[in-house]
A = this chain, B = another copy of it.
């Protein structure tokens, strides 16, 4: 049996890239298409004092290992629509570029969702607090995330859940 989910389901990698912490989470539909199943999740945190090129390499190689170990077929990242200052956007862009590259090198299809779309898919409203997102992620995956897991992980899982939700709606002709 293949490592990834069989017909009717697809294993999805959700990503929340950052140059210091990149959250990731792999989710698939539950048995018989009922509910959702957490496959694995974690954070890539390169040594903060490493020079930027080495931190980017840490992220790239770490994501390569995650993909090769858990065999997702699609990837979901945040579409960055929020206004930020140029310096923050440049730093975020560097990590995001490397994360998208890791997906492209593995042949993953990439989908983007706005922060509002993610919140709406999970909590029903586009203005939910970050804590609500985590609570909903835990409820949907029927699993508590370790307390030390930061928001990066729940945001990455929320993106994967949002993408599976959107796929499900599309397959039923509802979107």
Q: In the complex the two chains form, is B90's CB within 8 Å of A96's CB? A: yes
Stretch in A79-87, A135-143, A156-164, A165-173 with 4+ CB within 8 Å of B:
A79-87
A100 contacts B by Cβ under 8 Å: yes
Contacts of A87 in B (CB 8 A): 89
Contacts of A83 in B (CB 8 A): 86
State which residues 93-138 of A face B: CB under 8 Å: 93-98, 100-101, 103-105, 110
User: How would you classify the secondary structure of chain A's contact residues: helix, strand, loop or mixed?
Assistant: helix
A4 contacts B by Cβ under 8 Å: no
Nearest Cβ distance between residue A65 and chain B, in whole angstroms?
A: 15
Q: In the complex the two chains form, is B94's CB within 8 Å of A56's CB? A: no
Q: How far is the CA of A110 from the CA of B92 in the complex (A)?
A: 19
A40 contacts B by Cβ under 8 Å: no
Nearest Cβ distance between residue A77 and chain B, in whole angstroms?
A: 9
